[in-house]
C-alpha cells in the first residue's frame, strides 16, 4: 500500500495525527503528534514510509496511514409517479390488476 504524507493521515488504529516536519534525520524523518487515549497530543516520529517501528515487517497501531477518501454518491434523477396507472398506463394498469387478482386467488386456493 502506498503512503503519501501530503494526503490526510491517521494512525493505523484511527487516531488523529498532526505532522510538523517531514525532513528530520534519516531514520525517522516525519515528526508530529497523535491524539492519545485521554485526548492529549503526544509527540512521535515515524519513518519515511509511515512506520512507527524500525522493522518494516511489523505493523503497529501507531503507523501512519492515509485516511480513505470519501466515496462519491451519485444521484440519479428519479421520476415520481402518483399511481400505478401513471407508470403502466391505463391498459397496463388493468393487466396488472387482473394479474394481481389471479395471484391472490391462487395463493388463497393453496391455503
Neighbours of 102 (CB within 10 A): 10
- Residue 75 burial (10 A CB sphere; 0-12, 13-18, 19+): exposed
pLDDT greater at residue 67 or residue 2:
67
Q: How many CA atoms lie within 13 A of 79 on its CB side?
A: 5
pTM of the entire predicted model: 0.59
pLDDT at 81: 58
Q: pLDDT digits over 38-62, tens only? A: 999 999 999 988 999 877 788 899 9
Confidence category of residue 19, pLDDT binned at 50, 70, 90: very high
Q: pLDDT digits over 71-109, tens only? A: 887 776 666 656 666 666 666 667 777 788 888 888 888
The conformation of residue 42, written as its DSSP 8-state character, comes to E
Q: Domains of the chain: which residue ranges?
A: 9-66, 81-111
For residues 17 and 34, the answer to whether their CB atoms sit within 8 Å is yes
Cell 395463493: give the residue: 107
Amino acid at each position: 500500500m502506498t503512503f503519501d504524507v501530503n494526503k490526510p493521515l491517521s494512525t493505523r488504529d484511527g487516531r488523529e495525527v498532526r505532522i510538523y516536519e517531514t525532513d528530520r534525520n534519516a531514520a525517522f524523518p516525519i515528526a508530529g503528534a497523535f491524539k492519545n487515549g485521554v485526548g492529549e497530543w503526544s509527540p512521535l516520529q515515524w519513518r519515511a514510509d509511515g512506520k512507527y517501528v524500525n522493522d518494516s515487517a511489523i505493523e503497529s497501531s501507531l503507523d501512519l496511514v492515509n485516511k480513505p477518501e470519501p466515496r462519491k454518491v451519485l444521484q440519479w434523477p428519479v421520476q415520481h409517479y402518483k399511481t400505478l396507472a401513471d407508470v403502466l398506463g391505463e391498459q397496463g394498469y388493468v393487466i396488472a390488476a387482473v394479474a394481481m387478482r389471479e395471484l391472490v386467488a391462487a395463493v388463497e386456493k393453496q391455503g
